[in-house]
């Protein structure tokens, strides 16, 4: 199912603050987490701080992030994360805002919405559906790769890391950005959804042409928000909907994921507007 239109934004433009900066290179006054600090005793990367000052992001997202972390929901979220870490909880991923570090706001051409980070050891690394190099490809991602192969004739990727997509303007965003080891959806309702809704609004408000891949009911619940924000800014938005790629729903009607053709539709729609997109991994 697809639809498109135009519009202006509903994101509130707040002054950016300089303390949320990209840590790709050392910078005065900013301390990036040491690699060793991101690993649990068993060598599996995990979250070590509930402070967003420790999480690298691209500065283009500051106007979205700063008011959130200054507000009551953001402060409460930080406090809950710090409390659970103090109690010994293992929380994934090590860098919750990695999607916003790899894909600047001005570069977003496709938004893929996930729900919850993987909760197995070493799986989640801050990008929806993606896993770290060397980690076994999860079932939902296997189905994404199957559809990629069927739709575009590409060879099945051997690794599940989707960072090449992120570098090309595909924002891989979960609506909840942390989870405790072995406990699916354990941080749902903590406040992440408020932040990621603001991220979705910012994309719809700023991207002149963007494709939104809405797989499953959870992602599709954001459709009206996207429509309103894109339309009010006079922007084009292509919304493509189907079932979630999970094995439980990927082949089920009325909108099976397998066979949806979303990858070619997104590529062709963007190409017609002067934005080439390559799905190869």
| Residue 262 CB coordination number (10 Å) | 24
Distances (CA, A) of 134 to 58, 160, 161, 279: 26, 8, 9, 20
Q: How many CA atoms lie within 13 A of 14 on its CB side?
A: 17
At 42 the pLDDT is 62
- Domains with residue ranges and CATH for the chain: 2-15+95-271 (3.40.470.10)
The candidate with the shortest Cα–Cα distance to 170, out of 107, 235, 248, is 107
Active-site residue, 116 included: yes
Catalytic residue among 37, 42, 58, 116: 116
At 18 the pLDDT is 31
Contact between 271 and 277 under an 8 Å Cβ cutoff? The reply is yes
DSSP assignment of 248-269 equals: TTTT-SSS-STT--HHHHHHHH
Q: Tokens 């729609």 identify what position?
A: 269
CA distance 256 to 71: 40
At 3 the pLDDT is 45
Print pLDDT tens along the chain (281 aa).
Answer: 444 443 333 333 333 333 233 333 333 333 334 333 444 546 789 999 999 999 999 999 999 999 999 999 999 999 999 999 999 999 999 999 999 999 999 999 999 999 999 999 999 999 999 999 999 999 999 999 999 999 999 999 999 999 999 999 999 999 999 999 999 999 999 999 999 999 999 999 999 999 999 999 999 999 999 999 999 999 999 999 999 999 999 999 999 999 999 999 999 999 999 999 999 99
At 4 the pLDDT is 42
At 40 the pLDDT is 52
57: tokens are: 């992001």
* Helical spans, DSSP H, in the chain: 62-70, 72-86, 98-102, 139-152, 163-167, 192-206, 217-220, 223-231, 262-271
Contacts of 121 (CB under 8 A, 6+ apart): 42, 44, 181
């Amino acid at each position: 199912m697809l639809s498109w239109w135009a519009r202006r934004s509903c994101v509130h433009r707040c002054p950016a603050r300089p303390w949320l900066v990209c840590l790709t290179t050392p910078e005065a006054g900013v301390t990036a987490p040491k690699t060793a600090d991101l690993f649990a005793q068993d060598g599996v990367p995990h979250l070590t701080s509930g402070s967003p000052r420790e999480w690298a992001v691209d500065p283009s997202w500051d106007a979205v992030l700063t008011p959130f972390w200054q507000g009551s929901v953001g402060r409460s979220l930080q406090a809950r994360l710090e409390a659970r870490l103090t109690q010994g909880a293992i929380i994934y991923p090590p860098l919750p805002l990695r999607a916003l570090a790899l894909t600047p706001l001005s570069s977003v051409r496709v938004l893929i919405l996930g729900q919850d980070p993987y909760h197995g050891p070493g799986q989640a690394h801050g990008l929806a559906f993606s896993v770290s190099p060397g980690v076994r490809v999860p079932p939902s991602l296997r189905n994404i790769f199957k559809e990629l192969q069927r739709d575009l004739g590409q060879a099945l990727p051997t690794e599940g890391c989707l960072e090449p997509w992120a570098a090309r303007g595909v924002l891989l965003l979960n609506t909840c950005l942390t989870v405790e080891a072995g406990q699916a959806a354990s941080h749902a309702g903590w406040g992440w959804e408020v932040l990621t809704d603001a991220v979705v609004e910012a994309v719809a408000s700023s991207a002149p042409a963007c494709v939104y891949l809405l797989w499953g009911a959870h992602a599709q619940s954001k459709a009206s928000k996207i429509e309103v924000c894109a339309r009010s800014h006079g922007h084009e938005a292509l919304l493509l909907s189907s079932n979630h790629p999970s094995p439980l729903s990927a082949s089920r009607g009325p909108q099976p994921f397998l066979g949806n053709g979303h990858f070619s539709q997104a590529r062709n729609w963007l190409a017609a507007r002067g934005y080439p997109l390559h799905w190869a991994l």
